Amino acid sequence: MSGYGYREAVLQLDAALWRKRVIFDAESAEGRAAADAHQVPIELIVVAAARIAGHIARGEVEFCPAPGLVMLQKENAAPHG
C-alpha cells in the first residue's frame, strides 16, 4: 500500500470510529439529557456527526460546519407528514 493509500485508509477508519463514539455518547442517558437540556434532537447530532466524519475522512483540517448545521436545524424543524 502506498503512503497516500495508507493515510487515506487511516483517515477513513479514524472518521468511522469517531462517528460511532459520538453517536454512542449522544444516545447514552447522559447524552440524551445534555441534548434535551440544549433542545437539540439526537437525530441532528447523528446527522451532524456523519457530515463532520466525512470531512475527517477526506483529511480536511479546517471547515466551517455552521452553514450546514443551520440547514440541518431547519430541515429538522420542518413538520414531517
pLDDT of residue 60: 83
pLDDT of residue 70: 65
pLDDT of residue 81: 47
Residue identified by cell 445534555 is 34
Would you say the pTM of this structure is higher than 0.85? no
Q: Which three cell numbers stand for residue 4?
A: 497516500
3-60 per-position pLDDT tens digit: 768 888 999 999 999 999 999 999 999 999 999 999 999 999 998 899 889 988 988 8
